[in-house]
Amino acid sequence: MQSMAMRPLAMLPEMLLFGGGLACLLGGSFTARRRQWRLRAVAALALLGCAVAAVLGSLVPGSAFEGAFVVDGVTTAGRVTVAVATLLVLLLAGDEVAGNDRESETYALVLFAATGALVLTGARDLLVLAVGFLLASLPVYALVGLRRTARGAEAALKTYLVGAIFGILMLLGVTLVYGLAGSTSYPDLAARLEGLPTVAVAAGVVLVVAGLAFEAGAVPAHFWVPDAAQGSTGLAAAFVTTVPKIGAVIALYRLLLALPDTLAWGLLVAVIATASMTLGNLAAFGQEDPRRLLGWSTVSQAGYLLVPVAVAGTSDLALPSMLLYLAAYAVTNIAAFAVTTALPDVRDLAGYAGLLRRRPGLAVALVVALLGLVGTPPTAVFVGKLTTATAAWDGGMPWLTVVVLGNSLVSLFYYLRWVAPALARADPASGLTATRPWSARTAQLGAAISVVVGLGAGLLWALVDVSVLP
Amino acid sequence: MLSLTVFLPLVAALLLLVPGVGPRAARWGWVLASVLELALVGVLWWRYETPADGSLAFDEQVPWIPGVDSSYHVGLDGLSLPLVAMTAVVFLACAVYSVRDPDRPRSRAALFLALETVCLGVFAAADLILFFVFFDLSIVGMYVVIAGWGHGDRARSALQFFLYTFLGSLALLAGFIGLYLAADPHTFDMLELARQDPFAGGGTVAAAVLGAILLGLAVKTPTVPFHTWLPPAHTDAPAVGSAVLAGVLLKLGTYGFVRLGMVLLPEAWRAWAWVVLVVGLVSVLWGALVALAQKDLKRMIAYTSVNHMGYVVLAVGAAGVVSSGTTEARSIAVSGAVTQMVSHGLVTAALFLIAGVFLDRSGTYEIDRFGGLAGPAPRTTGLFAVAAFASLGLPALSGFVAEFQIFTGSIAAVPWSVVGLLGILVVSRVLLWTLQRVFTGDLGPSSRGFTDVGGHELWAIAPLLVLSLVIGVAPRPLLDVVEPAARSVVGLLGG
């Protein structure tokens, strides 16, 4: 039987990334500081190879490692999104990390964490899910702490503590479910969990979901996100608020499909989504540091991303809209973070005064990225938000549609607090003189992709294979 | 052809943004593009033939997001063609008006041209998502206009404008999603939705969807009680921004009432028509009375806009109150509503451009600081007088044609809508009193040294009023286009 086969090559993209990470880690010791750009090239090649292998791998869908890992349309979409997002993040390294004494380690950690996100994407077994969780979170702790400042240390400690706690809870949940079902394989769960004590099953599932909420940066495991966004390097901030989310959301989607209909699991996710959206938005209101503001904004975006998960299986639109939103969010969020890394001296919103005058290209990228995050057409997130909101209603949760739209309105307020000074006629603030070219170009590239994907959403929609293997 | 008309301004905007275009070239480029645009619209009008019910002239369709059956679908009918023409005229007037304004001409020209594409796109759209895309972008564009080129407390006004109207657009989106899901097969295409009439059975979902759409449009129009964003937005916007905001953007709301509410949800519209009617009446009276109390010229004009949009809402509400034997009357009301949109677009744009002249000469809009302007500024006086008369509905000007139809139709359908006539009375008092205070009597402090309107200002404002006069004297060419569409809409409502 094919599903029982090992088929290790099915995980070639993951292996390429992991291998690339190892190469960066070891190669870093043997490469002079000013030649470390070679390692960046290695990392970029590994990511490109991963994307290509993912596309080729989609030609032979099926499961690997005795059914514990699955390659289907969703895995492919997740892999390509992760690879492209990580490539964009890597572009930021061109000036923020280049020449830094932690350059090669940064690349290695990024690739390892991306591998973890990929494992989450294809996991069809609770144990593989746990492995993916660890692989995606351990490098993140280090990545957040790489900038050895007081804030960086605090952020790393917070990320580590929250991650450790939720990781333990998740393992507890996995143990509980395994104890009840006698299996960790998704295809077995539905049948074996049926008829068991609801409270025990619910406890196990809730704990697993909580672990994934940490990766997704969603309520209730969101405390680390704003600190990590503010205290770490711009590259790390862009990465940890984007790539792990992709893996976690897809993993949660698969998990929900595998559960029996004994409880309203969708409602659980809907509640988490609502809490994330609302809390993230409200907390972002008063922020003065643009990175911290973006950090809270990613908490609220995690809420939107969970909306299609809440209607997994009940609406045909749920899966395509989720994949589209994930890709749209990744590109847009990285573009917004890239603007902050392009202007290293500016650490408050007022510092953006007169950006349009001094750096028109960067200002346009910022406006496109922020209005994109709100969901203004014709950007990609608009199409994502439109289809997820439609999916929520279609899946029998019209109230969730209202929550999504209401929160979009609320979010507009704090994004505009950033847009307004950037467009103002004021004399350019002093911090705007020093810009980093790579980051600025990444921001513009991200904004451009966001608009192109929005306009060409139909094409992408048709290209993406939304098959999901049970 | 239609797509070319819609996107020509956007292409011109992108051309203007090419580095190396000088300020002079930008200003004249804007005028040139607007003239070309108007010519294209003229060709459209000339080639226009009333389409059969349930279809559109100049229909163009390209799939966009097939997964949710949304397409780039545009077309025109008797409801949208006059508004498209009005939009082209108002934007041309703005281009001419700005031809000597040195304030960042390149980006301003590009912004307004892009805004023109967006507005034309809303009127031409035959797909709900396409409609929404343009509708939402109009908000972003106007936000940048107010925040970037406004004066006074512009940051605050722009923020309020954005938040408030964004609320409206999200409500609209919720309604669109409801329509999409109710249709079987699901679609965002307006023609297909009108054919299917998914909410023919009525019910609470239909009421909720109509409620969401009405809320969205009421904010945009704006009607009482959602009008509070309008006066500050106008006060702090530049003159051309106000002209576009009042002349064109408000029509996106009223146009939506007819295009979305009446056509896509006829059953629910009939059930809730009396609410629309009452909201319209309240807007008429409230707008008029509050205008009476204004000391600021621009705020005064803004409130008369609330009043004038109230007539439109009143008419479309009355058109939904179905009883036998009133079909003809109700189609007159709808035709009056469309005429009023065109007339108000032309006249209010003229009024706001004149207000811009006031700010330019004296730095203030305060009515009390003027007086006796007829002496030093006879041309300004003439323009303002004609605009005021057109606005209050004097025969031989466009406002009369519109309001006459609106009240003939509405009163025949719902006799007590006669109360709305009080609004005309009060607005006449407001405008005549303003005319008196600003232009007659002793010379006010800001009237001294007031230079009369100059060449390009005259060329911007006068044509708008001439058009109003033409419509007032010879309304047939316009009504020939509007009336078949009005009859078809009323036919959908039944009765």
Looking at residue A88, its pLDDT comes to: 95
Which of A356, A373, A408, A409 should be substituted to probe chain B, the one whose Cβ sees the most B Cβ atoms within 10 Å? A409
Closest CA to B10 of B86, B92, B113: B113
Q: Per the CB < 8 Å rule, is A377 touching B133?
A: yes
Looking at residue A2, its pLDDT comes to 46
**Pick from A145, A341, A334, A127: which is nearest to A243 by CA?**
A334
Split chain A (470 residues) into runs of 10 and give each run's mean pLDDT.
68 94 92 86 95 90 86 93 96 84 91 96 95 95 90 93 96 95 91 89 95 94 94 94 96 93 91 96 93 96 96 91 95 96 90 88 94 92 94 95 95 93 82 86 95 90 77
Q: What is the pLDDT of residue A4?
A: 56
Give me the sign of the Cα torsion angle A39, A40, A45, A50: positive
> Hey, are the CB atoms on B147 and A377 less than 8 Å from each other?
no
Q: Can you say how many angstroms the Cα of residue B319 is from the centroid of all Cα atoms in its chain?
A: 20
Residues of B at the A interface, defined by Cβ within 8 angstroms: 63-68, 70, 129, 132-133, 136-137, 140, 144, 147-148, 155, 158-159, 162-163, 166-167, 170-171, 173-174, 177-178, 180-181
Query: CA-based angle A121:A123:A126, to the nearest 5?
Result: 135
Nearest CA-CA distance, residue B162 and chain A, Å? 9
Sequence-separated contacts (24+) of B178-184 with Cβ below 8 Å: B178/A393, B178/A398, B178/B205, B178/B208, B178/B209, B178/B212, B179/B128, B179/B209, B179/B264, B179/B265, B180/A390, B180/B68, B180/B128, B181/A390, B181/A393, B181/A394, B182/B206, B182/B209
Each domain of chain A, given as residue ranges in start order, spans 26-163+212-258, 264-465
Is B155's CB within 8 Å of A424's CB?
yes
Put simply, the answer to whether A390 touches B177 (Cβ < 8 Å) is yes
Quick one: closest CA in A to B70, which residue?
A458
Min Cα distance A264 → chain B (Å) is 23
How many Å apart are CA B305 and CA B137, to the nearest integer?
A: 22
> Contact B173/A382, CB-based, under 8 Å?
no
CA distance A455 to chain B (A): 8
A403 at the B interface (CB within 8 A)? no
Task: For residue A408, list chain B residues with Cβ-Cβ distance below 8 A.
Answer: 170
pTM, two decimals, is 0.94
Question: Which of B107, B135, B166, B187 to substitute to test the interface with A, most A CBs within 10 Å?
Answer: B166
Helix (H) or strand (E) holding B72: strand B70-76
Sign of CA dihedral A315, A318, A319, A321: positive
Give the residues of chain B that fall short of pLDDT 50.
Answer: none
Tell me if B163 and A387 make a contact (CB, 8 A cut-off): no
Contacts of B156 in chain A (CB under 8 A): none
Tell the burial category of B133 from Cβ atoms under 10 Å away from its Cβ (0-12, 13-18, 19+): buried
Tell the residue number behind the tokens 């699955």, with chain if given. Answer: A70
What ipTM was estimated for this complex?
A: 0.91
Nearest to B452 by CA among B403, B367, B356, B381: B381
φ, ψ at B70 (rounded to 5°): -115, 135
- Chain A partners of B110 at a C-beta cutoff of 8 Å? none
The chain A residue lying nearest B129, using CA atoms, is: A386
Per-residue 3-state assignment (H helix, E strand, C coil) for A87-129? HHHHHHHHHHCCCCCCHHHHHHHHHHHHHHHHHHHHECEHHHH
Quick check: B140 and A371 CB within 8 A? yes
Contact A214, A162 (CB under 8 A): yes
Residue of A nearest to B140 (CA): A376
Which pLDDT value is given to residue A1?
40
Q: Collect all residues of chain A within an 8 Å Cβ-Cβ radius of residue B66.
A: 458, 461-462
Q: Which two tokens stand for residue B390?
A: 């057109």
CA distance B166 to chain A (A): 7
Q: Please check whether residue A366 touches B, CB under 8 A.
A: no
CA distance B392 to B433: 12
Distance CA A164, CA A214 (A): 10
Nearest CA in chain B to A401: B174
Q: Does A402 touch chain B (CB under 8 A)?
A: yes
Which residue from A minimizes the CA distance to B177? A390
Using an 8 Å CB-CB cutoff, list chain B residues near A387.
67-68
How many CB pairs lie under 8 A apart between chains A and B? Answer: 77
Distance of CA B59 to the CA centre of its chain: 23
d(C-alpha A130, C-alpha A116), whole Å: 10
